[in-house]
Amino acid sequence: MSALTQVFASSRLLHYTLRADAISGLAMGVPLVVWADPLAAWLGMPAQLLLASGLALLPFAALMLLAARSDQPPATLVWLVILGNAAWVVGSAYLWFVLPLTWLGKLVLVGQALAVVVLTELEYTGWRRLSQARH
């Protein structure tokens, strides 16, 4: 069994995924805050939107790290992460239609939305596993 297969089969899937989601949120949030202006030109997105998105990602990443620290994260916290991720994907789809995105902007928008979909599915699967183990 490969290491990746072991992670997917693990009862700690939720914890691993929350950590990965937090790391990806930081990896996306920091550049959005630091380089909002140049990224705006490259992506075809308003700098204010990029800055606001980056600033929103930083506390959201902290929230995910907080949830990942607990062996039994509160349901409210887990659902806040799952629903926040779902809202991010819906918002990304909306932006596809309303912004004059560059080809790089389209690539980044689709890539990050797909990554969030995968992380959200893994978090939901991990939450279901953890919930079933409790009962």
Q: How far is Cα 107 from Cα 18, in angstroms, rounded to an integer?
A: 24
The pLDDT profile of the chain, 135 residues, written as one tens digit per residue, is 676 666 666 779 999 999 999 999 999 999 999 999 999 999 999 999 999 999 999 999 999 999 999 888 999 999 999 999 999 999 999 999 999 999 999 999 999 999 999 999 999 999 999 888 776
